[in-house]
Amino acid sequence: MYAKFRDGLAKLGVDPDEVMKTWKYVGGNRDSHKNYFETWTKKTKKDPPPYAPECVCGHEIKTNCYISNDVEILVVGSCCIKRFMEHKTRTCSDCNAPHKNRKYNLCNECKQKMKEKEKEEKKPKCSDCGKSHQNRKNNLCWRCRDGVCRATRR
């Protein structure tokens, strides 16, 4: 099977060693594979390749799984992904760590950083120095209001 997979990639003009090391799984056309492909394409804006009835190795497949190097997308069977690919699961779009999150294409650490950043962006900012504050009466942080803010050099 390994020889057939390598030969199939070579017929497509793709280096098999490069595929196994640098390409990664990016979803598929059905079920959870489709969900991950849609999550992955939010960032890359790629269209899915047309349906292929057989894998690169020549094996008949029902569910198309996709692998990509961020430029090209190839259709392979899940059997070949499980056997030959280094990046065979969902990987974080920021740090390439494996994860199992379905809503975001981020590992737990990167997802937590993103949520903290969003939370910080929602806080009101001081109209003088731009720092976040919790003053509900006016749009100044307590230091600018009291005239001691270092950012505005008062």
State which residues of the chain have pLDDT below 50.
1, 154
The tokens describing 22, both together, are 């640098």
Residue 79 CB partners (closer than 8 Å, separation 6+): 1, 55, 59, 61
pLDDT at 146: 75
pLDDT at 154: 47
Does this model's pTM top 0.75? My answer is no
pLDDT at 1: 47
pLDDT at 114: 92
Contact 67, 19 (CB under 8 A): yes
Beta strands in 19-91, from DSSP E residues, in sequence order:
24-28, 65-68, 73-76
Q: Which of 9, 18, 141 is nearest to 69 (CA)?
A: 18
pLDDT at 50: 92
Q: Which of 101, 99, 46 is nearest to 68 (CA)?
A: 46
Q: For residue 49, which amino acid is it?
A: P
pLDDT at 109: 94
Domain extents in the chain = 2-89, 123-154
Beta-carbon count within 10 A of 143 CB: 18
pLDDT at 3: 86
Return d(Cα 20, Cα 152) in angstroms, integer. 55
> Cβ-count burial of 42 within 10 angstroms (0-12 exposed, 13-18 middle, 19+ buried)?
exposed
Strand partners, 87: 24
Return d(Cα 66, Cα 37) in angstroms, integer. 8
